[in-house]
Amino acid sequence: MSLVLYNTATRRKEPFVPFVPGRVGMYVCGPTVYDYAHLGNARPVVVFDVLYRLLKRTYANVTYVRNITDVDDKINAAATARGEPIAAITARTIAAFHEDMAALNALPPDVEPRATQHIAEMIAMIERLVASGHAYVAEGHVLFHVPSLPTYGALSGRDRRAMVAGARVEVAPFKRDPADFVLWKPSSLDLPGWESPWGRGRPGWHIECSAMSEAHLGITFDIHGGGRDLIFPHHENEVAQSTCVHGGAPLVRYWLHNGFVTVEGEKMAKSVGNIVTVRALLGEFRGEAIRLALLSTHYRQPLDFTREGLREAERTLDRWYRLVGPRRAPGGRVADGVLAALDDDLNTPLAVAELHKLEEPAALRGAGDLLGLLQQDRDAWFHSTPRQSFSTTGIASAEAVGHPGAYQTGAPDQDYFAEGTSMAGSLSESVINERIQQRETARKARDYTTSDSIRAQLLARGIVLEDGPQGTTWRRAT
């Protein structure tokens, strides 16, 4: 394997060489848990899941860390707005996140640290920053002093003075420099808080990732991933904190960032009202189709998510499932073309094209395993509806998770899915099989009027019949 990755820090593709031979440490920024995961959250999870699978093929020791941010002002705001304890919101959201990502065939990370479990490490880190002159205390806050680090801005490629000039947010008066950012801030008693040398307070956003990556991956690790929007300020600030704490030792060797997701050509944003949650989408499409749609565009490119794109992904999976054989079986050797595509900076669209060239079931299953696709039995795929697929993986319904109204994402979102009315799932398999038998009888009697009417009836309920050499099979229309 000769993996090449595009490194945001150098803006070039570079051969991937682990810092410690044979061992790989990878950190991906995970969700802030106050609401269901949307497509923008799902893309990095799926993309870096493919990278994780690819790395595990080659390296015996891969540690994948994906954090959970469970202390954040957005969570506090949600708790206030809903009149619900923070712990209840985070616990429920984390459970939903796990279910949704599992439905997308994303493997769980090796470590999933939570910010609230690493407060002590954060405080220790901040103390060192204060002691070394990189941070200062002001009005109960601890701030990182950006001018104390001459190389600040290298990752995002921006000039400090230009940033200040373009700043559109009011600068807090106690900052020594407009670019300084918060490491620790005071908490009133109604907000989550921990005792610290600077009084009861809570961490700023960036420090958690510095603390958690050090705790689980050490001072310098190989890969750090996330969405493009995190390059600045989040990752820039992470670099600043960590390198200052670690006496200049580099934090990350390869920075990877995925592009944004738009929906039907529009930016997905709360203000537009077109946030598409994975959970809502899973009600209409199967997880593997969503996953394939996410992998059909190169991860660094912008991805426009459309209903038609999802349908195409379903048709593609239909075709592959017809070829892979009835039972889920261990995959065979991964085709060279597929590997070469993924080795080239995770070129998943090219890998998908390579899959189209495969005809052998074992080869398809093998490539599918690496991409996290084709993970079920053929019948399970053809007979399942989105809902069923969702529940057979042990996922509780949105209602069972509770307070569905709390996750109201607005009318436009509802409209997006309203047109996808589906009758599939309204017929049980026994009824379908019974009708197929009746049709068989009619066909043997050459009563094609009856047989065609049975097929038409089933089609109206979303069931497609196919007469093959081995008899009649059925599938859910998509």
Partner RNA sequence: GGCCAGGUGGCGGAGUGGCUACGCAGCGGACUGCAAAUCCGUGUACACCGGUUCGAAUCCGGUCCUGGCCUCCA
Binders of RNA among residues 20 to 49 (CB under 7 A) are 29, 31-32, 39-41, 43-44
Applying CB under 7 A, which part among 19-27, 163-171, 242-250, 327-335 lies near RNA?
Answer: 163-171
**CA-derived radius of gyration, the chain:** 25
Q: In terms of CB distance, is 19 or 129 closer to RNA?
A: 129
Min separation Cβ 128 and RNA, Å: 20
Cα 264 from chain centre: 19
Q: In terms of CB distance, is 19 or 285 closer to RNA?
A: 285
User: Which of 41, 115, 134 has its CA nearest to residue 73?
Assistant: 115
> Is residue 443 a contact point for RNA (CB under 7 A)?
yes
Applying CB under 7 A, which part among 99-107, 123-131, 308-316, 380-388 lies near RNA?
Answer: 308-316
Site string (193-232) toward RNA, x via CB under 7 A: -----------xx--------------------xxxxxxx
DSSP string computed for 72-105: -HHHHHHHHHHT--HHHHHHHHHHHHHHHHHHTT
> Is residue 316 a contact point for RNA (CB under 7 A)?
yes
Residue 191 CA neighbour count, 13 Å, CB half = 18
> Is residue 15 a contact point for RNA (CB under 7 A)?
no
Three-class SS state of 35: coil
Applying CB under 7 A, which part among 78-86, 105-113, 260-268, 373-381 lies near RNA?
Answer: 260-268
User: Which of 28, 8, 10 has its CA nearest to residue 224?
Assistant: 28
Residue 235 CA neighbour count, 13 Å, CB half = 28
> Is residue 9 a contact point for RNA (CB under 7 A)?
no
- Which of 308, 399, 418, 471 is in the footprint of RNA by CB under 7 A? 308
> Is residue 185 a contact point for RNA (CB under 7 A)?
yes
Min separation Cβ 442 and RNA, Å: 8
> Is residue 471 a contact point for RNA (CB under 7 A)?
no
DSSP string computed for 319-359: HHHHHS-SS-----PPPHHHHHHHHBT--HHHHHHHHHT--
> Is residue 468 a contact point for RNA (CB under 7 A)?
yes
> Is residue 182 a contact point for RNA (CB under 7 A)?
yes
Please tell me the distance from the alpha carbon of residue 414 to that of residue 327, in angstroms, as a whole number: 37
Q: In terms of CB distance, is 23 or 443 closer to RNA?
A: 443
61-100: which residues touch RNA (CB under 7 A)? 72-74
325-344: which residues touch RNA (CB under 7 A)? 344
User: Which of 462, 471, 474, 394 has its CA nearest to residue 422?
Assistant: 462
Applying CB under 7 A, which part among 98-106, 415-423, 425-433, 444-452 lies near RNA?
Answer: 444-452
> Is residue 347 a contact point for RNA (CB under 7 A)?
yes
> Is residue 298 a contact point for RNA (CB under 7 A)?
yes
Min separation Cβ 91 and RNA, Å: 18
Q: In terms of CB distance, is 259 or 332 closer to RNA?
A: 259
Backbone torsions φ then ψ of 29, nearest 5 degrees: -70, 120
Please tell me the distance from the alpha carbon of residue 40 to that of residue 403, in angstroms, as a whole number: 23
Three-class SS state of 175: coil
- Which of 2, 108, 147, 315 is in the footprint of RNA by CB under 7 A? 315
- Which of 137, 340, 350, 362 is in the footprint of RNA by CB under 7 A? 350
DSSP 467: E
Q: Which residues pair with 25 in a beta bridge?
A: 63
Q: In terms of CB distance, is 218 or 259 closer to RNA?
A: 259
Handedness of CA 387, 411, 401, 295 (dihedral sign): positive
